[in-house]
């Protein structure tokens, strides 16, 4: 299985609380109230959703706020993500939040205000959302959470990729360019997406490999904090090869940009993953798509950050997850503004481990998918997972943007859903839309 995800159990939650679920859409064009509430929370609201995760709670009047996810598996002790409010009387001046430098300065002033003398600001987020990550003790983090300019504080955690199945087969491209089986051993496409950039937020990409014919470049490496986003695991290169590889890619001329947030074990911190999303939101050159084959337990922070990419004009495809359960139970798959992709087999059946449900938008090939291998310039690897399904949709979105470069993410999503093949997926799963990706718009 191949979707990158958090180590935190999607079922993990504070004692006494029911699982937090977002129903993504009542139909393929609607949006849910709960997610809207999450957005209002970021803008300064303090409603029920804002307090849905409350693992630590001080007595009234003690000047301590709450830290989300403190007891979740994979939580990193002493590391926190602070999300700022963006409007209202308690919010900092918007002019202070327009750059990374300004956010860092604001963060330092907040640490002084809470007398967090031993705390250290690690990363800042200025575009996808406003905030910063910090090393601090629990009391210092809770003091930050109590500040009127802070929306919430969430414990940093560990992100990882699911296990992978490597066997030898290929068929995905053949399936997405035709309505019905049997396959005809051909993949037909009108454009290659040469005027579109595809941001692959993953374990990096082997950008110099022949598979990308000089079209792949480094964005940033948030694991090593340098400008070379080299893949040492394989997940990201495989994903990029499906998005835009010369042989196995859907959009064979798209410009690939590698954004590395996962290490050589396909793991990374939530803070680094959020930094990748923020970097794309700040630096994307439109028209653009982004592939996020990363997921895990429900998190407003992750949802807010991927939505920030969409608000920056980037069409984002996300893997539904490989747990054979409701995709609405994890982030960022539950976020309504992204395209959440479940996986099928060559027989048009839902792949057995693929997540399903109301938060899925589309199915795409994800079983036994052949693509580029990260450590062999001329080699290939065959993996299964919703991580392999999502890049088919990312590539298809690039093809649409090549012909409609001014289309918004919502318009791209509508085009893909309206053009999809209906009623072909067997055992699609309760609540799933029976829609299979089709690339010949």
Q: Which residues are known to be catalytic?
A: 202, 235, 387
What's the residue count for the chain?
441
* 365/388 Cα distance (integer angstroms): 7
- The pair of three-digit structure tokens given for residue 171, joined into one six-digit string: 């068929």
Prior bond to 332 cis, omega within 30?
yes
DSSP code per residue over 420-440: SEES--BT--TT---EE----
Return the DSSP state at 51.
G
Q: What is the DSSP string of 321-376?
A: -SSSSBGGGEETTT-TTSEEEEEE-TTSBBPTT--BSTT--EEEE-SSEEEE-TT-
Q: What angle do CA 325, 23, 411 make, to 5 degrees?
A: 110
Instruction: Give 331's strand partners.
Output: 296
**Six-digit token pair at 345?**
């087999």
H-helix or E-strand containing 291? strand 288-292
Strand partners, 295: 5
Distance CA 350, CA 107 (A): 46
Burial class from Cβ neighbours inside 10 Å (0-12, 13-18, 19+) for residue 411 reads middle
Give the Å distances, CA to CA, from 392 to 215, 221, 242, 374.
18, 24, 6, 18
Hey, is 253 helix, strand or coil? coil
């Amino acid at each position: 299985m191949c979707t990158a995800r958090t180590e935190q159990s999607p079922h993990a939650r504070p004692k006494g609380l029911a699982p937090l679920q977002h129903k993504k859409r009542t139909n393929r064009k609607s949006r849910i109230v709960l997610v809207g509430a999450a957005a209002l929370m970021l803008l300064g609201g303090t409603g029920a959703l804002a307090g849905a995760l409350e693992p630590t709670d001080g007595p009234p009047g003690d000047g301590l706020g709450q830290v989300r996810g403190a007891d979740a598996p994979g939580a990193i002790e002493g590391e926190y993500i602070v999300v700022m409010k963006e409007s209202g009387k308690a919010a900092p001046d918007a002019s202070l939040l327009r750059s990374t430098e300004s956010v860092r300065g604001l963060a330092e002033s907040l640490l002084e205000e809470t007398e967090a003398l031993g705390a250290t600001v690690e990363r800042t987020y200025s575009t996808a959302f406003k905030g910063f990550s910090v090393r601090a003790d629990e009391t210092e983090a809770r003091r930050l959470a109590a500040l009127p300019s802070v929306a919430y504080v969430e414990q940093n955690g560990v992100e990882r990729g699911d296990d992978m199945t490597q066997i030898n087969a290929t068929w995905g491209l053949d399936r997405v360019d035709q309505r019905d089986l049997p396959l005809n051993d051909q993949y037909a496409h009108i454009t290659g997406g040469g005027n579109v950039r595809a941001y692959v937020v993953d374990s990096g990409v082997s950008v110099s490999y022949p598979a990308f014919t000089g079209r792949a470049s480094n964005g940033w490496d948030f694991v090593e904090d340098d400008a070379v986003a080299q893949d040492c695991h394989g997940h990201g290169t495989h994903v990029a090869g499906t998005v835009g590889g010369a042989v196995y890619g859907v959009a064979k001329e798209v410009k690939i940009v590698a954004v590395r947030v996962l290490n050589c074990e396909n793991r990374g911190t939530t803070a680094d993953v959020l930094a990748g999303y923020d970097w794309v939101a700040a630096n994307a050159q439109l028209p653009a798509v982004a592939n996020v084959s990363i997921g895990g337990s429900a998190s407003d922070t992750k949802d807010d950050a991927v939505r920030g990419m969409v608000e920056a004009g980037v069409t984002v495809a996300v893997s539904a997850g490989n747990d054979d359960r409701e995709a609405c139970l994890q982030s960022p798959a539950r976020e309504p503004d992204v395209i959440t992709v479940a996986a099928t087999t060559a027989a048009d059946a839902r792949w057995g481990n693929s997540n399903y449900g109301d938060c899925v938008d589309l199915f795409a090939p994800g079983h036994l998918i052949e693509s580029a291998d990260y450590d062999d310039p001329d080699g290939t690897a065959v993996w299964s997972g919703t991580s392999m399904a999502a890049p088919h949709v990312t590539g298809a979105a690039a093809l649409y943007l090549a012909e409609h470069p001014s289309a918004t993410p919502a318009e791209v999503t509508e085009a893909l859903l309206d053009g999809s093949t209906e009623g072909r997926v067997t055992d699609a799963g309760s609540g799933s839309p029976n829609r299979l990706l089709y690339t010949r718009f």
